Structure 1
Amino acid sequence: MESDDTTSLEATNPSTNITADEIDEETAKKLRGDAIGNTMYSEVFVLNTLIQFSDLKWSEEVENNLCFLWDMTEDTDVCKYLFQASYPKLACSAIDNYTEPRFIEIVVGIFANLLCSKCEKNVTEEEIKTVLNLLSSNDPYILIQVMRFIHAASFLVDKWEFFEEEHLDRFDFILASSTNKELLAIALKALVSITEGMKIKVDILKGGLLGAVVAGYRTLRDDCEDFEVFEVRERHANVKHLISFLCNLCGYVDVLNRNELAGEVSPLLPEFTNEVALLLHCYVNEDNLLPMDDEFRFYMEGLTYIYRVLKVGYLSAVARDVYAIFAIIYNKDRANLDVVAELFCYFMAVGDLKSFQDDFENVSPDEVKEILSYLEKRNFQFEFVYIDKLRAILNEL
């Protein structure tokens, strides 16, 4: 009888457990409640947090809620929802109305995250200008988020006609005087992004800005004088930004024929060259040079462009290591010789026999002849003439 009763119960009371794929879309929405997209984050929480922008009463609870919202913006669905909720407009209104530093920092930090997200973005020039005005702040934490915002916004707007001289002056001041390394690193990155592709007006550019850029970079590298300064990827990023900035300035000179800008840059080139020499000297060590990486390729291309556009004369401090690097690659990695050939030939073109002999002194005369004969046969076509100088040097050796 027990067995029969059990069988009867099983037949009339089937299991009520259901699997996720058996739930229809309407039921799924009810179960998720007010979740944003496919997340478990609450729409009500976000709206309640944003409502406080209209009548801010700063407290630890408000700060915690905003910080949580900031963390939430790592999720694309949340970013999409915040754009739908007009976050840029609300944020800019709050920036204009309140002065609480931590509040401003978080609000701009969230805004920067939105611009970095992989969702459709909508931001106006007026909103960007509102954040740019915060460059006048002396709070390094606010400035870090402003720089993050500028870098992200630079990919959304091709021409920054609204970027004024006073904004650039603040970059100059920050890079020249700040000791906050996080701020310096992101300021350098932001400056590169807004000068790339000639985004900002040439009329507000000053070649003297290179001095501040070099000063900021020096603070970042800790005055190290060996390869340790380039062992960490972030430090490679810093030197790439240093070279990129001067490449960008050279773009204005090259494309717009702004020779007066080149004249302003020239007096500061020795400071830049000191940093370049320190960088290149690291690569004279074969273990640091090979196998060749993308960073090294970028350095060679960038430096060649800078020196060619600015018509820089012979730089023994740089040429010496370029020659040594070239010899290593010639003997150990000839397939990549083209990477260094243009810079090598440039210094040969602007130098003289004595300079060349002095700076190639660590390579045997026979090897020097072999290398130059190889270059003569290759007959690279560059935007400067070098082959006659090469042959003249060969004849004198």
Structure 2
Amino acid sequence: MFMTTALLSSQHVEEIKASAPVLAEKGEAITTRFYNQMFEAHPELLNVFNHRNQKQGTQPKALMQTLYAAAVNIENLESLLPTVKKIAHKHVALQVVPEQYPIVGHYLLKAMKDELGEAATDELLEAWGEAYQIVADIFINVEQELYQETKDQPGGWNGFRPFAVDGKNKESDDITSFYFKPEDGGALPTFSPGQYITLRVLLPDDQYTHLRHYSLSDAPDKDHFRISVKRETSPKYPDGEISNFLHDQLEVGDQISISAPAGVFTTDVDAGHPMVLLGAGIGQTPLISMAKGALEANPERDIDFVYTAKNEENHALLEEMNVLNERYENFRPYVRYTETDAHIDKEFLQTVIDENDTQEFFLCGPGSFTADMKEILENDLYISEEAIQREMFKPFV
């Protein structure tokens, strides 16, 4: 994929670069106004966007950060390619369509004009309008390719496919696994361990659907999809409406709509180099999928599995970890319970990680955990950034 701003005039490039400080200061106000105005005019888009992220302000903040990054890197959009790919997978999972991009563009520019006042000159708005169209075209093209690939693979589909809950298993105090099989009895596509599926949920007495991404927690090429969901009941997310609905009301035999697997946090199960998997809490679900998929494909592959949770009662999929440990001599689990053990730190990781230039690292968990692990690996253990992938889990409530 090639990203270019060649169609932008040098004047427009300078206008966008000059707007970066303003976006840093007022970006969140712009994006908050944008979402409010867009949803007022197009409430049907609430069927796509995460309602909780809107209420918590995380969606406007994420969009503000993306706009700021685009302004700063307007002459080097290739540097944003990893972010574009990740967002494009999310859009495909949510079934975003090309017709929605002009709506977003219109209300984004309107919010800029309303919020910036006199600073929103005609030249600035024209520059951002052209830049938005370039970026939108990139996303549309990438997503069309992904839609085609998803549909064309054996067992693949576009849109939301009806599934039935085939099994439900309580894994720990706050985590339950759900097994899904397609209601049409058709085949399932393979997926890359680390990917997620998207559930479409309509709560009782709710006008709009809720879409949630959940990592697949089993190996690929089964007759089912499995996810393992944490019940969210923290003070920050007291109602945890979707996770609690799944735990309390979704039962075996019930129907639910699911979009095809997506995501870029993945591993090549056919590769032979060693893997180090570092997870915290519910962040271990894609890592278990990676470990099982890699070992089923190559039983000789060396895997170090480092995991931390509050205690054993909060350790989901512990039995599966133990089975892998018994079955494969080259699977080495390291578990730290924060109620009784020290946290994972540099000294602990030094006892786990070999000096092996071919090791690949996968980090998954809360943002603070993955940031800490990445910093230790890069700054203290001299692991190259290219050898590290991370996925920051946020509550899908």
TM-score, normalised relative to structure 2 = 0.28
Looking at secondary structure, tell me which structure has more strand per residue.
Answer: 2
Higher relative contact order (CA 8 A, sep 6+): 2
Q: Which has the larger helix fraction?
A: 1
